[in-house]
Each structure stands twice: as C-alpha cells, then as structure tokens.
Structure 1
Amino acid sequence: MKLLFISRFIPYIGGREVILQSILHKLSKNRQVYLLTPDKGYFTPDFTIFNFKYLQEIPMLINKIRPDIINIHAFYFTKPILLSSHKLNIPIILTLHGLFLNYYGKKYRNFFEFIKKYLENPNFFISVVCEHHKKQLKDFGISLEKIYVIKNGIDPKRFIYVKNFSEGILRKNLYLQPSNRIILTVARLTPLKGLGYLIKAFSLLKSKNLVLLISTPTGRYNKEEMNYRDFLLKQAERLGCKNKIIIQFHDYESVPLLYKSCDLFVLSSVIEGLPLSILEAMACNLLAVASDVGGISEIIKNGKNGFLIQPENYKNTARIIEKSLSLGGARKRHIIQNARRTIIKNFSEERMIGQYEELFLNIKNKLL
C-alpha cells in the first residue's frame, strides 16, 4: 500500500511533527511512504520527501505519486487536496491534532462548513486525537461514521532510560543552587498555551527557592513567538519574578533530560488536543499538573495520576501547584506510579501506530 502524508515537518517542530515523524518511520518498514511538506532540511532513507513552495503544486505531486491513501496532518492544506484527489478517486483522511471551533473566528468555522459539506464524499474521513474533539465535531453536525479517534502515543522506554543523565547537571547549567526546585513547562510560545496565566500563578507562590523553566522547541524562531517571549518577560518583570523565570529553546532529543531534572511539570493551556508533553512527563516519573481542556482529562484523572487545573484561572493554578509541591513521599510516589502505568497501558507509540495502520487498511478495503 502506498501512503502519502501531507504536513508541516521538521525543523518546524511541535507535537504534530513529532507524532508524524514516528508514524512515517514506523510505517515505512512495510509500506511505501511519501511525505509532501513545505519544510526543508530533513533527510532519511526510510521514506521519500517531496517539497513544495505553493499550494498549487500539491495536486501535481499527488498525481505523480498516485497514492492509495492520503493522510493530511495540517488542515490548511486540505482544500486543494480535496479538489484534486476527487478526480483521482483517492481516499483522504484529515487528521486534526487540535480543534479550535470555539476559539478562532469566522474564517476557521467557514473552513469546517466546507469540510462538513465535503464529507458527503464517501472517500473523505476525519481522525482526531481525543474523544473531546470527536464530540465537538458531532456537535458541529458531522456524522460519527466519518470520525475516527486515534490517541497520541509515545515510546515509554525513551523517557525512563535517559542517556547521559546526571543528577544536578541542569541546575549547574542554569546556574541554580541544589536547593532550587524547578517547575517545568514544555510549550510553544503562544497565548494558546496559557503561559501568561502560568507566570501570574508562579508570582503568587510562597516558596522562595522556586524557578519556572519554560522550554520551547527549536526550529520555530518566528517573529510572533519572539514577540510573545518578550511580552512574557515584561509581564514577569511587572510581577516581580523575572529573575526566577527562564525561557530556553531545547531540541526534542534533550527534552527527556529536562523531565528527569525537574520537580513538577505544569501545562496551563487555554486549548489543547492530546498534548505529548503530558505523556512524556508522566512516562518520565515527573508529577504532572495540567489544564482541564481538550483531551487532557482523558489522560489525567484528577488526584489519581496527576492534577487538573481550571484554565485561565491563575489563582487555582497557584493553589494546585502549592498542593503538588507539598505532597508527602508515599502519596507522590503512588500518583507517579499510576501515571506511568497509564502511559504504558493507554498511550504507547506501538498502539498508536497499529491503529493508524488499521485505519488505512479498513478505509482502503471499505472503498474497494
């Protein structure tokens, strides 16, 4: 079976790109796999990459490859693909890693009106990363028969057996004292991640030895994110905690070292899908606190394997952070162990890859 994936890709990195990289490498072991992307700089013998500069090039490349299945992972490439593949009778799956129907404006909702109409085509399907998104699409009027749920997954071994890990090395590199406790968040520099609320919450914490480390992925040095970084630092200065806020870029390979070295993970997003950072932190035995948005409550069961916070509520966030940092040893170990079991049982990379492969086969056979 010949599989074509269309998306942004490395070095433009976020959770979507990490997931897609995993899918491409795993499926290429027994399938013909192709990637169409506007991003250059990634080389691999495992699958074939075609770069495009303009959307108008996509139909020509699809016609050249003639895939059995097209899987789109960036919604803004969808329209020209639908229009071209309709003529070629190729089944298409649009994978949504996030869904912002109640957040973005009219233009975004108009796109989904177009999608809803096009789903009358028997060759077009949608996959989402959480049950929450499935419900949103259903409420928008999209038939459940057209929606598949494949939850994100990671390789737990990568986050428990961390190479080159040395206790205290992060504090040394950040010029911190051994007594400093580090609160970590791993997120893109965007208001969607609620970083402003997290900094407000941090400013309310009573302990004097806390540091907030905001780790953001390399490869995304755009003006918008740099401006937001400056905004966050100015906010921290106004709140009197700038000297305890560290914003750093880290490549994806070094992120497990951060999880291993910090004392608490917090994700304060305003809107989410099924974030990889929570799965990774929990797999790394790092206590996780996260906003109750999107599919996060499908991962974290409050008080059992982590803690949920109210989105956009910095006072509640501060209170839950204080509670998490003050947990007794036995209770903390119990929650951390439950968290790791959750990841191994429900959010493994192996399960995710198997479900994507099953979806492709089912759709191909269904349309024969």
Structure 2
Amino acid sequence: MIEAIKSQVPFRLYMHILVMTRIVLGHSLGGMQKQTMDLCQGFAKAGHRVTVITTGRKDGVSHEDNDGIETHYLEGTKPGYYSGKWNSAARKKISEVHQSTPIDVIHSQSMGANGILKWARRNAIPIVSTWHGTSLTEFTSFFGSASYHPRYWHWLIITPTTWLKRYFTMELPVRRASKAITLVSPTLEHHMKLFAKDKVKVIPNGVHVPKQFAADKKNDKTEIISIGRIVKQKGVQHAIHATANLPTEVKNKVHLNIVGSGDYLESLKSLTTKLEMQDMVTFHGRTVGDELAAIYQRCELHLMPTTSHEGLPLTILEGMAYGMATIASNIGGIPSAITDDVNGFLIKPGNVEQLTGRLQALLENPQRIDEIGSAARATIIQHYSEEMMVEQTLAVFEAVV
C-alpha cells in the first residue's frame, strides 16, 4: 500500500482528520508535542478540519479551539498517560465528534488510538499511526542508563515487565489495525517488521527553517547550547563535564546555555556549582517562541550527548536549521540526519572524553564551525522542512482514505 503512494498526490479538498495523542503542548513542552502541533497546524493551513483528542489537564481545561484546531482534553483521565479511563472516555468523545462531523481518517500518535480500534473498524475509518520510538527502544534506553545498585534491582524487573505488557497489549494491536504507519526515523524500521512490514513509510520530523538568522555570531565568547527535557538520560551532565574539562585558555572563551526543564535540573545546577562553573553556564528553564529563537541565533555549537534511543529529536534539527555545528550521540535516529564530520559530529553515547576532544578541536578552529553549520542548514532545507513533513503525511492519509 505504502509503495503505491506517489511523490505527488492530489489531496482531497477536504478531510476531517482526528488526531489521538496522550500529550500535547497544552500539557508540557516536548519533541512529540511540538511535532504533533506542527502537523496539525499544517493540516489546518491546507484546508482540512482538525480535531485532537488527548488526556486531561491539571488545570481543568477541557476544550480549546485555536488556529482551526479543536482540542478535547478528556476530563477524569491522567495527564500524559493511557489507561482504562482514557479508553472509555476516548470512545465516547470520538463517537460524539463523528456524529457531529464525520471523521475521514484517524491519526494515532504511537498508541493513541488503542482504545478505539474496534470502533474505527466498525465505522470503516482508517487509522494511520506515527511512531517516534517503541517499547523495545525504551527497553534498550532503560538498560543503557539504569543504576545496578541493589536498591534499584526491583525496578530492573518491574519496568521491563511493564514495557513488555504494553508492547503486546497496546503497541502490536495499533500496528495491526493501522492502514499505514509512519516513522520519524529509518532506524525504527527493524522494530516494525511484525504485522507492519508492508505498510511502513519513513517521514522524518520537520522543522521551521528561519529565513534569516544571525550570520555573524561572533561575540566575546563562543555560545554553546544544550537543549531538551532535563532528565538524566538526555546527558546534559556530560555537556557540563566536557566544557569543564577544556583547557583553561579555551574554557574561558565559551558560554554554555542549558535550555529546558525537568526533574534533573537541580542536580545539574549542583554539578555546575561543584565544578565552579556558575559564570560559564546559564540555565534558561522552559523557553519558547522569540526568546528561544534569540538563543538559537547567538549559538554556534549544539551539544546533545544523549544516552536515550531517540527517534529523531526536533532539537537536533532546529539547531541545524539555525546553522549550528552539532555534536551528538551516535544513537537512535540521530545518525539518519547527521553524517559525521560532514554536517555535524557523532560521538559514542556517554563518552565525555570524546565529547571534550571534539568540542576543543572545533573551538580551536572557528572556520570549521562555520563550514559544518552551513552544511547542517543545507541538510535541513533539503530534507527536513516542516512543509515536507506535512505534505508527505497528507499523502499517506490520501492513500488510505
């Protein structure tokens, strides 16, 4: 089916697209949340009706209608989590929506549609699911960053068991029910062979490409950014250690910007104090919009030493779009966007020594930073624009409706 999708598909004048996801930007910031919203905005701009069903919010908001996107937050469901309550509430809400305005296609972010599979089959509505990762990739990430101290041994049993249950009771049913499956990275394809081999299409995450950005970023210090959800697996602590390990004459000419929030933030601040780097590091917290764009524009280097098996992190693509030279872990979907020493640099996950060496080499060769940054931006323009992501996703919808 997917092989039959042509490069240019004439979209219908109108589709009612229903998106099901556990989390959106109304809950918190995150790569999946932003990708979902970028897609929804693209669908709406293309003239389609867009309805989103998601989990409840802590502040009690149950409904939003912004920019042609109608969002229903299901009251009584736990924010960001699937559950039996989510399944029953989703079935009720989707029936109401369909009765009001018939749905043409259901877009499931990962397992979002799990609770309405039978309903969709009865009503002959096709499901297209998009996957940023799987339980198997989370399983790998968990054991790659888990603590093996005896006090944590019970989690080494409980957590994998939970993921296996989710894999068989939620992931596989959604894959089997999907008329088509889209993946944000080709590295996920081998995880999708069971019940999905002939209906998979890779549609990389896409980002906004700024038409103008600061061509001359040369300040007194070289600005570096490490951005994302602040949890241990993202490896921001490695960025701090690598910066601290630089020779004094190099270290005194850099400034590290840490952008994001999460439960590991206080640990990072303590580490910064311990290493006496308070004057070299700025914690910006949760930052969006023009404020984030301003930080991107003045940064020349992006560090992402994650140990998590990512799909394809939006922050990687955003940094490249702004012409930054990126040093990132050779893990998950990151190598699908970055070719080492061509448009960025790849390091072994968790290897601080390698990160320090690569960082120092670049800081001592500013011309190389500019060359890599220009190549990175060209890569995004050619392969990872937001417009391409929307067009390719709509083509998949058109093929199954």
TM-score bracket, normalised by the shorter chain, equals 0.7 to 0.9
Structure 1 residues 30 and 326, CA, compared in 2 at 3 Å: closer, same or farther?
same
Alignment of 1:77-88 (within 5 A): 77-88=112-123
1:135-163 Cα distance to aligned partner (Å, 9 max, x none): 2333xx3432132211011221xx2425x
Report if aligned partners of 1:4, 1:33 keep a CA contact under 8 Å in 2: yes
Match of 1:5 among 19, 22, 37: 19
Amino acid at match of 1:63: S
Tell me the equivalent position of 2:205.
152
1:108 correspondence with 2:124: no
Match of 1:322 among 347, 360, 382: 360
1:52 correspondence with 2:96: no
Q: CA deviation at 1:333?
A: 3.1
Amino acid at match of 2:227: V
Q: Bigger CA drift: 283-292 or 112-121? A: 112-121
Report if aligned partners of 2:127, 2:177 keep a CA contact under 8 Å in 1: no
Report if aligned partners of 2:20, 2:113 keep a CA contact under 8 Å in 1: no
- Count how many residue pairs are aligned between Structure 1 and Structure 2: 340
1:14-34 Cα distance to aligned partner (Å, 9 max, x none): 122222222112212322211
1:228 correspondence with 2:264: yes
Give the distance between the partners of 1:326 and 1:286, measured in 2 at CA: 16
Amino acid at match of 2:35: I
Q: Bigger CA drift: 83-92 or 293-302? A: 83-92
Unaligned runs of 5+ in 2: 1-14, 78-85, 143-159
1:262 correspondence with 2:284: no
Give the distance between the partners of 1:254 and 1:21, measured in 2 at CA: 19
Tell me the equivalent position of 1:244.
280
Q: CA deviation at 1:318?
A: 1.0
1:352 correspondence with 2:368: no
Q: CA RMSD in A?
A: 2.5
Unaligned runs of 5+ in 1: 172-177, 218-224
Tell me the equivalent position of 2:6.
none
1:57-100 Cα distance to aligned partner (Å, 9 max, x none): 1101111222221112253x443233543443332222222332
1:208 correspondence with 2:252: yes
Residue 297 of structure 2: SS of its match in structure 1?
Answer: helix
1:250-301 Cα distance to aligned partner (Å, 9 max, x none): 1244222111112311111112111111211111112111111111111111
Tell me the equivalent position of 1:282.
320
Q: CA deviation at 1:4?
A: 0.3
What TM-score, normalized to structure 1? 0.84
Give the distance between the partners of 1:97 and 1:131, measured in 2 at CA: 11
Give the distance between the partners of 1:320 and 1:59, measured in 2 at CA: 52
Report if aligned partners of 1:5, 1:71 keep a CA contact under 8 Å in 2: yes
Residue 13 of structure 1: SS of its match in structure 2?
Answer: coil
Match of 2:229 among 173, 182, 188: 188
Structure 1 residues 291 and 166, CA, compared in 2 at 3 Å: closer, same or farther?
closer
Amino acid at match of 2:48: R
Give the distance between the partners of 1:125 and 1:101, measured in 2 at CA: 25
Residue 98 of structure 1: SS of its match in structure 2?
Answer: coil
Report if aligned partners of 1:264, 1:325 keep a CA contact under 8 Å in 2: no
Q: CA deviation at 1:189?
A: 1.0
1:362 correspondence with 2:399: yes
Report if aligned partners of 2:129, 2:174 keep a CA contact under 8 Å in 1: no
Give the distance between the partners of 1:270 and 1:235, measured in 2 at CA: 19
1:36 correspondence with 2:68: no
1:290-328 Cα distance to aligned partner (Å, 9 max, x none): 111111111111111111121111111111111122224
Give the distance between the partners of 1:120 and 1:325, measured in 2 at CA: 46
Report if aligned partners of 2:185, 2:311 keep a CA contact under 8 Å in 1: yes
Structure 1 residues 109 and 196, CA, compared in 2 at 3 Å: closer, same or farther?
farther
Give the distance between the partners of 2:241 and 2:366, measured in 1 at CA: 26
